[in-house]
Amino acid sequence: MSMIVQGPGGIEIEFPDGTDAATIDKVMRSAIAPDAPSTAMDVAKSAGTGVAKGVIGLLGLPGLAKDAIDAGLDYGISKGWLPQPSATPQQRAAALQAQPNLTPNAETIQKGVESVTGEFYKPQTTEGKYAQTIGEFAPNAIVPGGLIRRTAQTVVPAVASEYAGQATEGTKYEPYARVGAALAGGLTASGVESAIGRARATVPGMSPTATDVMLDSVQPGARQRLDDLGPQAFLFEGSEPTVTIAQGMATRPGQAQEHLNTAVRARNAGANARLTSDLDTHLGPAVAPSRVQQSLEQQRASLGDLYQQVTNLNEPVNLRHVADHLRIAIPQEAGATQLALRRVQDMVAPVVGPNGQRTVRTHPREVLNVRQALDDELVNLEKFPKAHAIVTQYRRAIDDALADAVPDIKVLDGTYANLSREIDALRSGQTVFRHGPEAIRPEDLIAQRQQMTMPQREAQRIGVRADIDRMVGTKANDVVALRRLVMDEGDWSRVKLAEIFGGQAADRIIKSIDREAAFQATYNKMIQNSQTAARLQGEKALPTRKVEAADLKGATIWGTALTGLQKGVNSVRNAVRNAKVNAVEDELSRVFTATGSARDKILRDIANAQSVRKKYQTPTRDFLVRAFLNAQAGSRQ
């Protein structure tokens, strides 16, 4: 015997007697929906279809752009903004059909693929629809980022788009809902990423508010700038935004203002000591030129005894030829030259006795005195070139005659000349950094020093070092003026410093002056109330200290009562808020004035936190690309 079971839609199935209920249920369900797929299989197939559609969407971007341009041109023609083409629409359509389509859109590409593979699989379940949509958003994964970021930027906008599409399915709003939800989903994913980044980007020992200020204001080049300025530089001097914020804090009375100003004033007070220490370290200690010159002059004066000894040997000096030449030359000259030669004649062969007879000097000591007198005479004759040139020749002849008679005297002459040149070099060193018409050019200084002996170079170095010490002593309170004094006229001063003290020492001294100039600029900004606009801007970057009270004044008793109550509440709120803001500012003031190794550690921690935050931030370029891809994928649903 058998029994017949009837199902929905008039389906009837015959079962043997005794068939259990579970078997009947299974057979009937299979008969009603024989092809219903499993959810897992539907999701897998739908996801594959979605990925294929997403890839096709990317390949169809050129065609999409072309379609958009064509649509824009047609719109312009229809509005009369563009001239009408000579061909009719039918002719243009025929021409396009005759040409190969090199930029097909996504729809054209999909039809071409389906002509080979058959129609793409369509989702059979809700889960499958979501899987297909996620697959279509898969091209978002090409945008740079970590695995978590790429996954979130793919799944979140896809789920949002599909959810909005199903909610508005069958209505005219569905396409707009899908695109809008896709864009909103991308924004949400980016916002969540940014929030996670801010939460994870922390600086050890620093409050969240202070951390946000530091991460937003410390710029990438801060460490290098502070390294250039040295360990005494404050952390806030590394970036312009932190300088501006520090200026803002300096306008607000409180502990932060006091701490900042005290630190800046204390450092400024040590400017002279730092410069002096750097000069002594890199250029050597300064020596008073007067003491050096006095020592050289004493050495030169001590040669007098040696001159006495060598001239006491009483070897006669033959100046007869000099006297004879003078007797002949004097009548041939006139004016200043003749007068100069008569004075030379009186020195070489003075008149002796009542008859006007001249006696030529022969004693070495007397001839030495004549030579020295001629040196003075030559100084007086500098305004008379001809006389000066002729007297110089006689002086040389007398010197040669004295050397023939007393050979050792030339050794003394050389020693005397070298000491005199050292004195001259010492004096010239004190004018190396003078400016104006008398300034020595670097190439002239280099040529001059090439002709010097080592003692002469050392004497000039002492003179230069003393002059730099003089400049520091007179300009220490105005480092900018010192900087101009040592570093103006192009690169002249640097070249001169390098020539005398070496290139490395020159660079270090210029760096020291630059450092102190930067420190003084900070002092002016913080203490001298310069750059008012920057101070106001910096104050805006800080948390506000008070809450604006609502004006509830009215004509009624209740309005007046509410105003008083509001003021009381706001007073409490302001006190609490101001306490928090003051605490943040005090914390920032101590971070801002960190120096040395403590400063460098804070900078490293800030850099690490900035790196963490950056990982969770989407660059504008990537954000726009994702927005475009989301809109495109959403429009294909």
- The stretch 515-529 carries a mean pLDDT of 86
Give the C-alpha distances (Å, rounded to integers) separating 566 from 108, 299, 578.
67, 92, 18
Q: What tens digit of pLDDT does each residue of 54-84 get? A: 777 667 666 666 666 766 667 677 766 777 7
264 pLDDT exceeds 50?
yes
Radius of gyration over every alpha carbon of the chain, rounded to an integer in angstroms? 49
105 pLDDT exceeds 80?
no
Strand partners, 358: 351
Q: What is the model's pLDDT at position 102? A: 62
522 pLDDT exceeds 60?
yes
Least confident among 265-279, 336-350, 368-382, 617-631:
617-631
- The stretch 444-460 carries a mean pLDDT of 93
Q: Report the share of the chain in percent with pLDDT over 70.
A: 71
Q: What is the mean pLDDT of the chain?
A: 79
Q: What is the model's pLDDT at position 323? A: 92
Is pLDDT larger for residue 629 or for residue 251? 251
Q: How far apart are CA 121 and CA 351, in angstroms?
A: 138
- The stretch 92-103 carries a mean pLDDT of 62
Q: How many CB atoms lie within 10 A of CB 186?
A: 29
- The stretch 416-424 carries a mean pLDDT of 93
Q: What is the model's pLDDT at position 575? A: 47
How long, in residues, is the chain? 637
Is pLDDT larger for residue 221 or for residue 19? 221
617 pLDDT exceeds 60?
yes
- The stretch 567-586 carries a mean pLDDT of 64
Q: How far apart are CA 381 and CA 383, in angstroms?
A: 5
Is pTM, for the whole model, over 0.85?
A: no
Is pLDDT larger for residue 572 or for residue 599? 599
Q: What tens digit of pLDDT does each residue of 22-56 get? A: 887 777 776 665 555 678 888 787 777 777 777 77
Which residue bears the tokens 């969770």? Answer: 616
Q: How far apart are CA 157 and CA 192, in angstroms?
A: 13
Is pLDDT larger for residue 394 or for residue 138? 394
Read off the pLDDT band of 572 (50, 70, 90): very low
Is pLDDT larger for residue 49 or for residue 380? 380
Which two tokens mark 616?
């969770």
539 pLDDT exceeds 90?
no
- The stretch 335-339 carries a mean pLDDT of 93
Q: What is the model's pLDDT at position 446? A: 92
Instruction: Supply the DSSP string of 139-203, one letter for each residue.
Output: GGGGSSS-HHHHHHHHHHHHHHHHHHHHHTTTSTTHHHHHHHHHHHHHHHHHHHHHHHHHHH---
Q: What tens digit of pLDDT does each residue of 232-255 get? A: 999 999 999 999 999 888 888 889
Q: What is the model's pLDDT at position 73? A: 66
Which residue bears the tokens 């309170």? Answer: 477
Least confident among 1-15, 267-281, 499-513:
1-15
Which residue bears the tokens 């729809």? Answer: 107
Is pLDDT larger for residue 164 or for residue 409? 409
Read off the pLDDT band of 599 (50, 70, 90): very high
> Alpha carbon 117 to chain centroid distance?
59
Q: How far apart are CA 407 and CA 404, in angstroms?
A: 6
Least confident among 91-105, 198-212, 251-265, 566-580:
566-580
Three-state SS at 240: helix
Which residue bears the tokens 């590394």? Answer: 238
Q: Report the share of the chain in percent with pLDDT over 90.
A: 30
Least confident among 117-121, 173-177, 226-230:
173-177
Is pLDDT larger for residue 354 or for residue 334? 334
Q: What is the model's pLDDT at position 146? A: 59
Q: How far apart are CA 54 and CA 58, in angstroms?
A: 6
92 pLDDT exceeds 80?
no
